[in-house]
Amino acid sequence: MSTVELDLRPESYSVLRLAADAPAPVEVLAAQGFVSITRTQDELSLVCPSAVAPRADEAEGGWRLLTARGPFDFALTGIMAALSTPLAEAGVPLFALSTYDTDHLMVREEHLGRAMTALENAGHRVHA
């Protein structure tokens, strides 16, 4: 995998878990920027800017979002591995998400500097 260009989003994000049968919160659906809503038989998982995060029993804030500059063809392989391997080697936990066009990595604010250094040392470019 060659160099991946990543954009660091300026806002703080939250990851929340709601009951599987909970309705998707209107304030999250209406939010600008990156929002991810995933429903499984066990949960409704939300990723959204912390500024619009609803109250939830299980929620973690303080995440930062790195978005790979796509779009990427579905036949292309190794993008997530090229990004996650240097982070794992640097001991940086991540929360990974993919969309139709691209891949997204979330790292905790306290690990952001180490994450950016690890990615850049692996040959990727992070644009803040």
Q: Which two tokens stand for residue 97?
A: 């998400």
Q: What is the mean pLDDT of residues 45-62?
A: 94
| Tens of pLDDT, residues 70-80 | 877 777 778 88
Angle subtended at Cα 75 by Cα 92 and Cα 94, rounded to the nearest 5 degrees:
10
Nearest to 7 by CA among 99, 96, 89, 70: 70
Question: Where residue 84 sits, what CATH number does that domain have?
Answer: 3.30.2130.10
* pLDDT for position 1: 56
- Determine the Cα–Cα distance for residues 103 and 53; give it in Å rounded to an integer: 22
Please state, as a whole number, how many other Cβ atoms lie within 10 Å of the Cβ of residue 46. Answer: 25
Which among 1-10, 23-32, 74-83, 116-125 has the top mean pLDDT?
116-125
**Whole-Å CA distances, 40 to 3, 45, 46, 105, 106:** 34, 8, 12, 21, 20
- Whether pTM exceeds 0.85: yes
* pLDDT for position 74: 76
Range from 30-34, 59-63, 95-99, 120-124 carrying the lowest mean pLDDT: 30-34
Question: What's the total number of domains in the chain?
Answer: 1
Domain with 97, as residue range(s), is: 5-127
**What's the chain's average pLDDT?**
93
- Determine the Cα–Cα distance for residues 103 and 79; give it in Å rounded to an integer: 8
- Determine the Cα–Cα distance for residues 31 and 48; give it in Å rounded to an integer: 8
